[in-house]
Chains A and B, each alone.
Chain A
Amino acid sequence: MLRTTLAGLVAHRLRLLLTSLAITLGVGFIAGTFVLTDTIEQGFRQLFTADADKVAVAVTPKDEDIPHEVLAKLTALPGVSGAQGLVRGTAPLLDKSGRAAGSTATSGISVEAGPLDRTSYVTGTAPGGPGEAVLDENTARTRQFEVGDTVTVLDLAEKRRQFTLVGLIDVGVDQHLAYTGAVGFDPATAREMTGEKGYHEIDLAASAGVSPETLKQTVAAALGQTYTVKTGEELARKLALDSNVELDYLVLVLLLFGCVAMFVAALVIYNTFNILVAQRTREMALLRCIGATRGQVFRSILLESAVVGLVSSVLGLLVGLGLGALGLAALGRFDAPVPTGASVALTPRTIVLGLVVGLLVTVVAAVLPARGATRVAPIAALRSQVEEQTFRAGLARSLIAGLLLAGGLGLTAVAIWVLDGNTGLLVAMGGGAVFFLGVIVIGPVLMSPLSAFAGWVPRKVFGVPGRLAVDNSRRNPKRAATTTVALTIGVTLMTLISVITASTRETVVSSLDDQFPVDFMITAQYGRADGMPLLPAEVPATLRTLPEVGLVAEMRQDDTGEIASLPDRAVFRPEVLSGSLAALTPGTVALSEPQAENLGAKVGDTVSLTTAKAGKVKVKVAALLGQDGLNGTMPYTIAAPDFEKYFGAVGPVRVYVKVKDGTAADVSRRAVEAALTAYPTAQLVSAADVRGEFDEAFDMMFTIFAALLGLAILISLLGIANTLSLSVHERTRESALLRALGLTRPQLRGMLSIEALVLGLVGALVGVVIGVAFGWAALQTIPNETVFIVPVGQVLLYLVLSALAGVLAAVLPARRAANASIVGSLAAS
Chain B
Amino acid sequence: MTMTTDVRAAVVARGLSKTYGQGDAAVHALRGIDVSFATGAFTAIMGPSGSGKSTLMHCLAGLDTVSSGHVHIGDADITTLSDKQLTLLRRERIGFVFQAFNLLPTLTAEQNIRLPLEIAGRQADQVLMDRVVETVGLRDRLSHRPSQLSGGQQQRVAVARALISKPQVIFADEPTGNLDSRSGAEVLSFLRRSVRELGQTIVMVTHDPVAASYADRVVFLRDGLLVSEVTQPTPQSVHDMLLKLEA
Contacts and interface: CB of A to CB of B under 8 A. Distances in A.
Contacts of A742: 87-88, 90-92, 116, 119-120
A388 B148 CA distance: 11
Contacts of A826: 63, 98, 101
A468 B106 CA distance: 8
Contacts of A468: 104, 106
Contact of A740 (B83, B96, B147): B96
B104 A734 contact: yes
Interface residues of B, number: 28
Contact of A823 (B64, B116, B118): B64
Nearest to B61: A740
A747 B104 CA distance: 16
Closest 8 CB pairs of A and B: A742-B91, A471-B106, A823-B64, A744-B87, A464-B118, A822-B63, A742-B90, A823-B58
A385 interface: yes
B121 interface: yes
Contacts of A388: 105, 147
A471 B121 contact: no
Interface string B74-90: 00000000011001101
B101 A823 contact: no
Nearest to A385: B101
Contacts of B98: 737, 826
Contacts of B63: 740, 822-823, 826
Contact of A463 (B90, B96, B121): B121
Contacts, number: 65
Contact of A822 (B64, B88, B121): B64
12 contacts: A464-B118, A471-B107, A734-B105, A742-B90, A742-B116, A744-B84, A744-B88, A745-B83, A747-B119, A823-B58, A823-B64, A826-B98
A739 B92 CA distance: 13
B102 A737 contact: yes
Residue of A384, A463, A468 contacting most chain B CB atoms (<10 Å): A468
Interface residues of A, number: 26
Contact of A738 (B58, B92, B104, B105): B104
Nearest to A475: B106
Contacts of B88: 742, 744
A463 B101 CA distance: 23
Contact of B119 (A734, A741, A745, A823): A741
Interface string A368-388: 000000000000000011011
Interface string B175-193: 0001000000000000000
Contacts of A738: 104, 119
A472 B58 contact: no
A527 to B, nearest CB: 71
A743 B119 contact: yes
Contacts of A217: none
Nearest to A739: B87
B100 to A, nearest CB: 7
A741 to B, nearest CB: 5
A414 B218 CA distance: 81
A290 B240 CA distance: 42
A737 B64 contact: no
Interface string B187-226: 0000000000000000000000000000000000000000
A544 interface: no
Nearest to B158: A737
A737 B104 contact: yes
Contacts of A741: 90-91, 96, 115-116, 119
A464 B64 contact: no
A747 B64 CA distance: 19
Q: Which of B91, B107, B115, B120 has the most CB of A within 10 A?
A: B115
A578 interface: no
Interface in A712-751: 733-734, 737-745, 747
A196 B105 CA distance: 86
A821 interface: yes
Given A464-B119, A472-B106, A741-B96, A733 B101 contact: yes
A743 B87 CA distance: 7
Contacts of B107: 471
Nearest to B104: A734
A24 to B, nearest CB: 35
Contacts of B119: 464, 738, 741-743, 747
B205 to A, nearest CB: 13
A461 to B, nearest CB: 14
Given A388-B147, A822-B63, A826-B98, 13 more contacts: A387-B147, A388-B105, A464-B118, A468-B104, A471-B107, A738-B119, A742-B92, A742-B116, A743-B87, A744-B88, A745-B84, A745-B87, A826-B63
Contacts of B120: 742
Interface in A581-625: none
Contacts of B64: 821-823
Interface centre among B84, B92, B98, B106 (most CB of A within 10 A): B106
B208 to A, nearest CB: 19
A740 B90 contact: yes
A464 B116 CA distance: 10
A475 B84 CA distance: 29
Interface in B95-132: 96, 98, 100-102, 104-107, 115-116, 118-121
Contacts of A822: 63-64
A475 B147 CA distance: 14
B90 A464 contact: no
Interface in B44-67: 58, 61, 63-64
Contact of A737 (B87, B91, B101, B147): B101
Contacts of A471: 106-107
Nearest to B162: A741
Contacts of A385: 100-101
Nearest to B91: A742
Nearest to B58: A823
Contacts of B147: 387-388
B118 A463 contact: yes
Contacts of B118: 463-464
Contacts of A733: 101
Contacts of A472: 106
A739 to B, nearest CB: 7
A822 B118 CA distance: 20
A558 B83 CA distance: 88
A738 B90 CA distance: 11
B124 to A, nearest CB: 13
Contacts of B92: 742
A253 B64 CA distance: 58
B167 to A, nearest CB: 10
B235 to A, nearest CB: 27
A631 to B, nearest CB: 66
A153 B105 CA distance: 83
Nearest to B92: A742
Contacts of B58: 823
B146 to A, nearest CB: 9
A774 B96 CA distance: 54
Contacts of A745: 83-84, 87
